[in-house]
Structure 1
Amino acid sequence: MKSIYSFPGFLSLTFLFFSSFVLSASFDCGKASTGVEKKICSSPSLSIMDEKLSEFFKPLKNRRAFQVIESDWLESERNSCESVECLEDAYVHQIQFLSPVAIAPRPTQKDIKLMLGDKAYAQFERSWRVIDLAWLPNEKGAVERFVISAETISGMLYVIVFEGHFDPAMIAYRGNLYEYVDRNDRPVLHTIAKDIGFDGALNLGSNDEGKRFAGILDGAFYYRQQLSKNQLRGMVYKLGSKLPPVESSLLFQQWPNTDENAVSGLTFGWGGDYGKLQAYYSHTKGYETIAPVGRPEVGWNIYSPIWSKSRPTFYFKNGNETIWRANVADKTLTKIATAIDDGMINNPTPVDINGREAVVYLNGYTLKMAISLDE
């Protein structure tokens, strides 16, 4: 996949030095105070790069995730440079990262070939850029946390999260529903419903949660509220509205995350340590090995494989510590994120952000997003 924009002319120093905008940075050079700012203002190439970066950031500046990304880049990359060459490299990489990406058409199962021979997928460990999106209230008695749904609609990311506990008397989860919208709002989280019986899936929180009864459809979040052990009602909340949810006659039902959008079938073998992770396809005989026993980590303890809607890729957590992606088209297996602060990872859910591959997940009570640096 390639960016919608092309950079060769922009990155050519010959072009840069003869441009008519050579000393036009995105900020007032008359007020430049730091060494980095003075280097940018005195360098024709850097001045243009700064202007170009500002153009790419402008349509993203109201999205909270990209504000965090830009702030982190300024502090940890740009402002740590001591030379023009270092600054040019930093700007090139950030412009490429912020530029919108065109997503290639998703191949069908018949387009994907079975890998021949007893070989495993090529294995990589490439940590994606990880951003803290929000912190759940972590209220007293809240011991369970799940990402219920995550969708990008018209470029805006919406995430629905549940925090609470299992109520054995009601035989249901009880707690709060929150909405995260990736824009510069305060507070960052909106409480959709508080202290409710929530029926989100047949087996919410298990490895295979079964059919789901809560999810996003046509710009709204539908869920079932449990009133008693034997009474439920359908509810709907309009995304981003911050209005109270209302009763709905439409009941949402969807296939399990492990099956929805699946391009291939998966098997998780047993034998000593957790066995091979394999894929198979309905249009051809045989299996291919995604990961052998004990590699690349010692033992596999695989939970919640979830398929991307737009890519021939599924994501899963190994134990509670790491998130992996497997691409059945290019036959690669990549570790993309690791838990921090001894927290437990929950519900890695794929989304597309500005055309880039990304995963929303919980690390303890922190809502995070890992986004790919390579496209």
Structure 2
Amino acid sequence: MKNIYSLPSFLPLAFLLFSSVAFSASSDCGKASTDVERKICRSPSLSAMDEKLSEVFKSIKNRRVFQLIESEWLESERNSCESVECLEDSYVRQIRFLSPVPIAPRPTQKDIKLMLGDKPYKQFERSWKVIDLAWLPNEKGAVERFVISAETISGMLHVIVFEGHFDAAMIAYRGNLYEYVDRNDRPVLHTIAKDIGFDGAFSLGSNDEGKRFAGILDGAFYYRQQLSKNQLRGMVYKLGSKSPPLESSLLFQQWPNADENAVSGLTFGWGGEYGKLQAYYSHISGYETIAQAGRPEAGWNIYAPIWSKSRPTFYFKNGDETIWRANVADKTLTKIAKASDEGMIQNPTPVDINGREAVVYLNGSTLKMAISLEE
């Protein structure tokens, strides 16, 4: 008896309310009740694809991102197909998208050539798939929100977020630290620490934050807690543990995001209007133009550049409304996401999800992820 693929029925009520689809248990073809289900049962090729998709999904079914992706696919794509051909195309794309992608070795500087002739990078607008991960509590008095760190560890995404305000008396940010883990836990956000003085970077929230004093290392999140204007202590939280953070004699420090993991250096010109975005390399003399001044028409207003750990690519905000990526190996510049509901984007942070290129960011008080449809 053939089984029709559907999302698992073990999801808690909170997830069902969060998602736009009420999932049902796997059912056999004798219980097929929709035209799509009957088409799958009658077609050997679709039945095989259905079983293949179920097999692919099995290894990632405990990861919330992919449950959200599957929920959307079932409702808006698969179940809207009216022909076998449409269903076959839909299954092929979804199987490819959910299958693990091997990450190619990161090119070294010697593998990267200088683009000559002052030609700009090829520019594309290819919106990635955007997923709402979680909503911050948005507690009274919270006016500042930052993604502090995001990393995939043993296949599981962990994101650390701060929400609070600037305490002028302490000359530090005060508020709450949260952890988002991409698995079927409730609540979605775990509160690491509440109402603390938080010291996360030399100039947290600025375009160039300077050296960073909070980050993930060996499966733990290290940060500095400010006790008073002149007192700091190191703290460590084991990711995913939901245990209280402990004092730590080990202090975390890394270079600014614009320098950490960098393959090239970046320059942002200024000349009456927003100038060129350029890159240079330590092993080659000269510069290459990533983007010309005034293109797109609104000009370049570049914030928060950050390099990928695994790819020769950096990401940045253009103003507060769009996220761009620039690949210095294939010389492409792509707009990958934009703000919704007139909100402001904060801290686009690259991660790898199942081998795919992705970016975690805040849009107002919503934690989001944009994930590449192409690899």
TM over 0.5: yes
* Equivalent position amino acid for 1:231 in 2: Q
The 5-angstrom pairing of residues 108-127 of structure 1 reads 108-127=108-127
Structure 2 CA distance for aligned equivalents of residues 24 and 187 of structure 1: 32
Q: Partner residue of 2:231?
A: 231
How far residue 272 of structure 1 moved from its aligned partner, in angstroms, is 2.8
Structure 2 CA distance for aligned equivalents of residues 208 and 134 of structure 1: 27
Q: Partner residue of 2:43?
A: 43
Q: Partner residue of 1:362?
A: 362
How far residue 297 of structure 1 moved from its aligned partner, in angstroms, is 4.1
Structure 1 CA distance for aligned equivalents of residues 142 and 54 of structure 2: 42
Contact 1:24 1:48 in 2 (8 A): no
Q: Partner residue of 2:217?
A: 217
Aligned partner of residue 177 in structure 2, secondary structure: strand
Q: Partner residue of 1:342?
A: 342
Aligned partner of residue 261 in structure 2, secondary structure: coil
How far residue 347 of structure 1 moved from its aligned partner, in angstroms, is 0.2
Post-superposition, which runs of at least 4 consecutive aligned residues in structure 1 deviate over 4 A?
A: none
Query: Taking every aligned residue pair, what percent have the same amino acid on both sides?
Result: 88
Structure 1 CA distance for aligned equivalents of residues 342 and 250 of structure 2: 41
2:36 equivalent to 1:64? no
Structure 1, residues 12-49: CA drift from partner, whole Å, max 9, x if none?
A: xxxxxxxxx9x554441111111111111111111110
Structure 1 CA distance for aligned equivalents of residues 168 and 156 of structure 2: 37
* Equivalent position amino acid for 1:55 in 2: E
Structure 2 CA distance for aligned equivalents of residues 163 and 39 of structure 1: 49
Q: Partner residue of 1:85?
A: 85
Q: Partner residue of 2:198?
A: 198
Structure 2 CA distance for aligned equivalents of residues 25 and 48 of structure 1: 10
Question: How many residues are paired up?
Answer: 354
Q: Partner residue of 2:130?
A: 130
How far residue 298 of structure 1 moved from its aligned partner, in angstroms, is 1.8
Structure 1, residues 260-314: CA drift from partner, whole Å, max 9, x if none?
A: 0000011111123201000111111111110001113421100011000000000
Structure 1 CA distance for aligned equivalents of residues 310 and 174 of structure 2: 33
Structure 1, residues 230-256: CA drift from partner, whole Å, max 9, x if none?
A: 011111101000011011111111111
Structure 2 CA distance for aligned equivalents of residues 307 and 297 of structure 1: 25
Aligned partner of residue 38 in structure 1, secondary structure: helix
Structure 2 CA distance for aligned equivalents of residues 167 and 335 of structure 1: 35
Aligned partner of residue 260 in structure 1, secondary structure: coil
The 5-angstrom pairing of residues 274-313 of structure 1 reads 274-313=274-313
RMSD, matched Cα:
1.0
Contact 1:180 1:189 in 2 (8 A): yes
Aligned partner of residue 40 in structure 1, secondary structure: helix
Structure 2 CA distance for aligned equivalents of residues 138 and 248 of structure 1: 29
* Equivalent position amino acid for 2:83 in 1: S
Q: Partner residue of 2:179?
A: 179
Q: Structure 1 length normalisation: TM-score?
A: 0.93
2:30 equivalent to 1:30? yes
Aligned partner of residue 287 in structure 1, secondary structure: strand
Structure 2 CA distance for aligned equivalents of residues 63 and 108 of structure 1: 32
Q: Partner residue of 2:10?
A: none
